[in-house]
Chains A and B, each alone.
Chain A
Amino acid sequence: MIGFSFARLMALLRKESIQIVRDATTLRMIIALPIMQLFLFGYAINSDPKHLPAGLLSIESSKYERTIAAALNNSGYYDLRQIRSEAEADEGLARGDLLFVVEIPPGFDRAVDRGENPSVLVDADATDPTAIGNAVAALSSVLTDLNRDLPPIRRAAPQTPPVNFIVHARYNPEQLTVLNIVPGLLVIVLTFSTLFVTTLSITRERERGTMENLLAMPVRPVEVMIAKIVPYIFIGYLQVGLIIIASVVFFDLPVRGSLPLMLAAIGVFIASNLALGVTFSTIAASQMQAVQLAQFTLMPSFLLSGFMFPFRGMPAWAQAVGNVFPTTHAIRIVRGMLLKGNGWSEIAPEIWPMALFTVVVIAFAIWRYRETLD
């Protein structure tokens, strides 16, 4: 038996790097694709939509109602139209014709004038919370406008707002914010691009017939694995850098935590994905099969990681499954570090599951890697 050799590993690394650089199409793709995805998804999700269809439901006509309606229209977020009944409101929301229904209670004018602080109910379609987030935020500006129209006696001492807006987030009580999406997106895009590059690596050697030659040479499985993974860690960092820069520039992503620490944590995440890809590559008989295996893990990564749905809203078993995936932990790390300014003590519990995942997966790959053609 022969042991691990650093010189051989370097030879393999050189070979892999040359092959990566020479495959210009793929290289361009793995650099351009994440950026394209970020913009595509980022703007699709993160756009600040205006002129959202809204219904104004009121029984009687009132002057303050007109002020509110004008202010809402002027905010640019609402396109109000009068609706006549509760049923019409429900139907409009259900069909998606209306994203909001603003309901003015009976006796509104009198209640405002008396300082009774009446409630205006705003029913919002929160299936896509990012779409309505800014519109909801704009409600407060309406109060300023309303203040101007109040009788002097009420305007002088506005300790309490004249009107109380109650936002009822229909369909999706847990509202994700715009800033929640972009860090998650960073991780998701990275999952995509890193998983696939190594998924093809060993099956490609097999399909091109170069595996036989590689096997006939004195290389160790662990050397082959590491050589397949390491060059793509650098490419992964290139992607991370581009995505973060684009996110800061175009989506005003705040970076509140330590950037070097986050990059180090992301390194573990990238390695875990690449390792998983290599493992698929050793299991699969063909490139096609390897890609299918990778796709199987992508869906749960998206759905159970807390990227698309609130993690705490999932049943315990789904949370357990979600916790297996490195994507879940990476999303927590990146969100926490970017938005909350989390440090080492907060992210450490998320690091070790990714590291453990990497080690287990690589060990499995090495165990599965056949040194013969049997």
Chain B
Amino acid sequence: MNDLVIDVSGLRKRFGDLSVVEDLTLQVKRGEICGFLGANGSGKTTTIRMLCGLLEPDAGEGTCIGFDIRRQAHDIRRNVGYMTQRFSLYEDLTAFENLDFVAAVFEMPDRQAAVEAIIERMGLKDRRNQLASQLSGGWKQRLALAACVLHEPKLLLLDEPTAGVDVKARREFWDLIHDMAADGLTTLVSTHYMDEAERCSRIVYLAQGRIVVQGSATSVVGESGLVIFEAIGDGIDAVARRMRQAPGVEAAGVFGRALHVAGMDRAALAAAIESQGGGLEWREVEPKLEDVFIHMLSLDEARR
């Protein structure tokens, strides 16, 4: 097997007239944590489902863990851990029973030991005999992650795994993912959270079913060409409101005590500050991933 765990090209999926994924080409190397970003409906879930054989692509081809995504869906399923966006284990089974079921379906040789090991590793010991329906959001995610890594997959496909989970649980969840990546597990994870995107070794940004930009967080920020000016002082809320109307300003927002103004054209931005930003101390700062992300989201909207 070569070093590419995911290697697909020209993937397309349409539901009726609606084009959900269009000409998507993606390569993910072993051990990478690849973050899938994009607005709701940009095709993240559909792409993930095509990768694990749950949806058949209308066009395009490629391999996932070395298996053909069209013809070898069953082999892919054996080697992929897929965590659905919505909790999809059995709520009327306990944590243990769910894991035991998954282990048995994957025909794991030493089922008992494997289940106990994953319960231990995920810290599910105190929850093992609770019905899944009684678990809180964070514990449900953990159980779901346990269920999809239980059979020692080579690739993890996580579809917004931490939606609606508190900060601490999210942090712990990501620590687990990095742990597993260190062992060579490849992960493709979709998310809306910037802090999570920053923890990915690579970011893939999708808009309307196409990849708009990809690379490390730093390179995505660097290549964006976005210019940010920051001001600190009194009355920034009022200035922010005026600035939003000014030409050359794409976004103006208040973060704590600072006002951020973003735009693609440094000269136009400077002119806007000259005319509207009176009385404040301005300086140019490095754009953050979040700035770039919001910039790309508004580009999406403009294109629609």
Contact = CB atoms under 8 A, between A and B. Distances in A.
A374 B106 CA distance: 24
Contacts of A18: 92-93, 97
B105 A217 contact: yes
Given A7-B107, A18-B97, A217-B105, A210 B78 contact: no
B77 A216 contact: yes
Contact of A371 (B73, B97, B131): B73
Contact of B90 (A15, A215, A217): A15
Interface in B131-150: 131, 147
B55 A213 contact: no
B88 A213 contact: yes
B174 interface: no
Interface string B266-285: 00000000000000000000
A62 interface: no
Interface in A9-38: 10-12, 14-15, 18-19, 22-23
Nearest to A215: B54
Contacts of A218: 74, 77-78, 105-106
Contacts of B80: 216
A22 B93 CA distance: 8
A218 B75 CA distance: 8
Contacts of B84: 209, 212-213, 216
Contact of A5 (B55, B73, B107, B147): B107
Interface string B76-100: 0110101010111111110001001
A12 B80 CA distance: 20
A373 B49 contact: yes
B102 A374 contact: no
Interface string B28-54: 000000000000000000000100111
Contact of B88 (A1, A12, A19, A212): A212
A5 B74 CA distance: 13
Interface string B94-117: 000100111011110000000000
B196 interface: no
B56 interface: yes
Nearest to B82: A216
A23 B92 CA distance: 8
Interface string A201-227: 000000011111101111100000000
Contact of B104 (A14, A210, A215): A14
A208 B97 CA distance: 18
A2 interface: yes
Contacts of B97: 15, 18
B102 A19 contact: no
Contacts of B55: 372-374
A8 interface: yes
A197 to B, nearest CB: 15
Interface residues of A, number: 29
Given A5-B107, A216-B82, A371-B73, A209 B87 contact: yes
A107 to B, nearest CB: 79
A219 B101 CA distance: 12
B135 to A, nearest CB: 15
Nearest to B13: A374
A19 B104 contact: no
Contact of A217 (B75, B93, B106): B106
A12 B100 CA distance: 11
Given A373-B55, A374-B55, A1 B101 contact: no
B91 A208 contact: yes
A22 B90 CA distance: 12
Which of A2, A5, A11, A216: most chain B Cβ within 10 A? A216
Contacts of B105: 8, 11-12, 217-219
Contacts of A210: 88-90
A142 B89 CA distance: 72
A55 B227 CA distance: 105
A373 B54 contact: yes
Contact of A22 (B74, B92, B100): B92
Nearest to A211: B88
Contacts of A373: 49, 54-55
Given A218-B78, A374-B56, A213 B106 contact: no
Nearest to B71: A1
B236 to A, nearest CB: 45
Contacts of B92: 18-19, 22-23
A33 to B, nearest CB: 21
Which of B80, B84, B90: most chain A Cβ within 10 A? B90
A19 B74 contact: no
Contact of B74 (A2, A10, A12): A2
A218 B74 CA distance: 6
A5 B53 CA distance: 20
Contact of B56 (A213, A217, A372): A372
Given A209-B87, A216-B82, A372-B53, A11 B74 contact: no
Interface of A: 1-2, 5, 7-8, 10-12, 14-15, 18-19, 22-23, 208-213, 215-219, 371-374
17 contacts: A2-B78, A8-B104, A10-B104, A11-B101, A15-B101, A18-B97, A22-B92, A212-B54, A213-B88, A213-B147, A215-B54, A216-B52, A218-B77, A372-B54, A372-B73, A373-B54, A373-B55
Those 6 A-B pairs whose CB atoms lie nearest each other, nearest first: A11-B104, A213-B88, A216-B82, A209-B86, A15-B101, A209-B88
Given A212-B84, A212-B86, A216-B84, 9 more contacts: A5-B107, A15-B97, A18-B97, A208-B91, A213-B82, A216-B77, A217-B77, A371-B73, A372-B56
